[in-house]
Amino acid sequence: MWEKNLSRGKGKYKAELRAKDIYPFFCQRYPKLVETIDQKKHKEILNDYIELSKTNILNGRILDTPIGKIFIQKMKMPVGYLQSKGKLKLDFHTSMKLKKKVFHTNDHTSNFRMQIVWKRPHLFKKNYYSFLPVRGFKRALPALIKSIKNKDYVIKFISKYQS
Instruction: List pLDDT tens digits, range 13-45.
Output: 566 777 788 899 889 999 998 889 999 999 999
pLDDT over 70 at 162, yes or no? no
Q: How far apart are CA 163 and CA 6, in angstroms?
A: 34
Find all residues with CB under 8 Å of 86, minimum gap 6, and list them: none
Asked whether residue 55 carries a pLDDT value surpassing 70, the answer given is: yes
The count of other CB atoms within 10 Å of the CB of residue 117 is: 19
How many CA atoms are closer than 13 Å to the CA of 142, on its beta-carbon side?
6
More confident residue, 33 or 152: 33
- pLDDT computed for residue 4 by the predictor: 47
Q: Where are the alpha helices (DSSP H) in the chain?
A: 19-29, 39-58, 79-85, 92-98, 135-147
Q: Which of 66, 74, 81, 77 is nearest to 104 (CA)?
A: 77
Q: 88 pLDDT exceeds 60?
A: yes
Q: Given this model, what pLDDT does residue 130 score?
A: 74
In the chain, the amino acid numbered 47 is N
pLDDT in tens, 110-133: 788 888 888 887 776 666 777 788
